[in-house]
Amino acid sequence: MKPYVKLRTAMMIAEKKQEELAAAIAVNPTTFSKKMTAKAAWTMWEAYKMCELLHIPESELTEYFPKELSVPHESVAHQLTQRQNVSMKGVKK
């Protein structure tokens, strides 16, 4: 099953395309696609903006952006680890 089924359904009902929503939340279409497949994490601002654009009540945010999908995909987690390693260079333990 694809992630974000309820969000995808809301997009269809609102007749919004990924490209349109990507522009509205200021990300490129490739990044938007990665978010929709849980290979990149949504920011809180993006999630709230998507709710606004798709007329989803904020009280239902977690139904459309479930906690179990909020953990970045392993490739994103790896990138974050790499950034932390780089930022820690030269820091004495």
Average pLDDT over residues 15-21: 97
Lookup result for tokens 């974000």:
4
**What is the tally of structural domains in the chain?**
1
**Is the C-alpha dihedral spanning 61, 66, 70, 73 positive or negative?**
negative
DSSP element (H, E) containing 47:
helix 44-53
Is 93 within the bounds of a domain?
A: no
Each residue of 46-93: pLDDT tens digit? 999 999 999 999 999 999 999 888 765 555 555 556 666 655 565 565
With 80 as the cut, is the pLDDT of residue 9 above it? yes
53 is in which domain, residue-wise?
Answer: 5-87
pLDDT in the model for residue 48: 97
CB 83 within 8 Å of CB 25: no
Percent of the chain that is helix, strand, coil (3-state, to 5): 60, 0, 40
27-47: average pLDDT: 95
Residue 72: φ, ψ to 5°? -60, 145
Q: What is the pTM of this model?
A: 0.73
CATH of the domain at 11: 1.10.260.40
Domain membership flag for residue 33? yes
